[in-house]
Structure 1
Amino acid sequence: MRFTVSGDLPQPDICHCSMCRKQSGHCFASTDIPRISLSISGEDSLSWYRSSEKVRRGFCSTCGSTLFWDPPARDWIAVAMGAFDGPTRTSVKMHIHVGEKGDYYEIVDHSPQHW
């Protein structure tokens, strides 16, 4: 499976909520892309897990890579920053759900933090 995003990547959020940490193994960095800007090929390798009533998480069923955080009712989809090849030419916008972050690390950059 492959995907492309048209246009520049918006600045990513880094989520520290317990669900993202459990799903990804640590905090989860993703950028919110307008759905019309995302093109996916080889969707037969894309699997979805409904993690709540409002959100599903997409992953590659071939390699297991985390790819998407998708709130279907919205006009955007979050794409995992680690899924991009090459330079992204962006930087962290903010940290979210920092009140749930793990006790084993500190947030040391100067990006805004939201509880």
Structure 2
Amino acid sequence: MTTGSCLCGGVTFEITGPMRPVVGCHCTQCRKQSGHFGAFTACDDMDLSFKTKDTLVWYRASNSAGRGFCKTCGSLLFWKGDTATYTSIAAGSLDGATGLKLEGHIFCADKGDYYEIHDGDYQKATW
């Protein structure tokens, strides 16, 4: 089991199943919300449960997905496509060691011009 939370503890959650490797998302929305780029793993919805979610709010940044964050501390926590059966989880919200590794990068065409990606992982211009 893996646990995670926002900075203030208003949102806490558990993941009981496997998580995919971490993907760096450089899309404009992730850049604006995180301040750099988003780093997300994902799990099946049936493997994600909330211990507390009083401060969890969802923002509709597009007409096909929502972004979950804590309304108290502002922590970016989740991305959820409307038709997806999985939830993407901000890797930085996970507690302790996870064994996950960064696998690649998406929306590299939208990345900021102040850095380059040199880690050798795959890079896709879009999704």
Pairing 1:19–2:33 present: no
1:4-83 pair list within 5 angstroms? 4-83=14-93
CA distance in 1, matches of 2:28, 2:82: 21
SS at match of 2:109: helix
- 8 Å Cα contact 2:18/2:43 also seen in 1: no
Shift of 1:43: 1.8
CA distance in 1, matches of 2:20, 2:29: 23
CA distance in 1, matches of 2:70, 2:91: 15
SS at match of 1:42: strand
Count of aligned residue pairs for this structure pair: 115
Q: Deviations over 1:39-68 (max 9, x none)?
A: 112222111101111011000122111000
- 8 Å Cα contact 2:17/2:43 also seen in 1: no
Higher strand share: 2
Pairing 1:104–2:117 present: no
CA distance in 1, matches of 2:74, 2:29: 17
CA distance in 2, matches of 1:101, 1:52: 18
- 8 Å Cα contact 1:9/1:88 also seen in 2: no
CA distance in 1, matches of 2:18, 2:61: 28
C-alpha RMSD over aligned residues: 1.0
2-11 vs 67-76, greater mean Cα deviation = 2-11
Identity %: 43
Name structure 1 gaps, 5 residues minimum.
Answer: none
